[in-house]
Amino acid sequence: MEKVKVIAENRAGLAVITLNRPEVHNAVDEDLRTQLGSVMARAAADPEIGAVVLTGAGSRAFCAGMDLREFAAASVSVIARRRQRRARANPLADFPKPLIAAVNGAALGLGLELILQCDIVIAAANASFALAEVRRGIIPGNGGTQRLARRIGQGRAMELILTGRTVDAASALAYGLVEYVVPAEELLPRAEALAREILANAPVAVQLAREAVRRGFELPLAEGLRLEDDLVGITFGTEDAREGPLAFSQKRPPRWRGE
């Protein structure tokens, strides 16, 4: 029987997705990667799911990176084929709904690269972060060199990538790598509360606002402003755009239709 390496739980419209290899600090092997892709695809297609919290099993690690034992045993041709397959689809970067990382421990290598693809990152006080690939004779290869610089700036990214240094949660907060640091026992409740705050808003507006930020970040300002204007125009044509002001004027909670 295949081990369940990714657990998905639907909590009333919020999917909590857990990397489930605590015996190896949730290191990512090919099976986990495949299961994660399938779980994320189902969450993306499920109209009942409005947001996702991604976390790791256990209390020591969110994800310790790729499974180096599997990597060391694989041939160059096998590694190349896997990288080609992954380049065609990225279940986190391409995910269409709000994605919150709840970092419950070490996020190293691929683990850090996973959270860089999330919209908001909440870390437990015991969390730690590193892109230490240069200490293994390789470089970050899952977007780490690109996304880390965009998130915390080129200088800080250079420092962490070229030294392979591990930083604690407080430093990650100061660098802008995470948005919140909380006690470990408060991690999932805080992540869920944040997700619920997002889910209380108009679904189409949330989706398009998220698209404006994520796509616009890669564009020159003038193009980003045009994108924003186009997406604002789309929201004006929705039923929710009429419901919001009406609910405000009637002093009642809005009844979003998601259209």
159 is catalytic: no
HEC string for 33-55: HHHHHHHHHHHHHCCCCCEEEEE
Question: Which amino acid does the sequence have at 37?
Answer: G
- Paired residues of 28 in beta bridges: 66
Quote the CA–CA distance of 76 and 65 in Å, as a whole number.
19
Quote the CA–CA distance of 117 and 104 in Å, as a whole number.
17
Phi–psi pair at 247, nearest 5 degrees = -65, -40
Active-site residue (options: 2, 9, 113, 192) = 113
223 is catalytic: no
- DSSP 8-state class, residue 66: B
Active-site residue (options: 133, 185, 239, 259) = 133
Name which of 87, 85, 91 is nearest 43 in CA terms. Answer: 91
Quote the CA–CA distance of 140 and 162 in Å, as a whole number.
10
DSSP per-residue codes, 123-135: EETT-EEE--GGG
Quote the CA–CA distance of 129 and 111 in Å, as a whole number.
8
Query: With 0-12 CB in 10 A as exposed, 13-18 as middle and 19+ as buried, what is 26?
Result: buried
Quote the CA–CA distance of 113 and 101 in Å, as a whole number.
11
Please give the positions annotated as active site.
113, 133
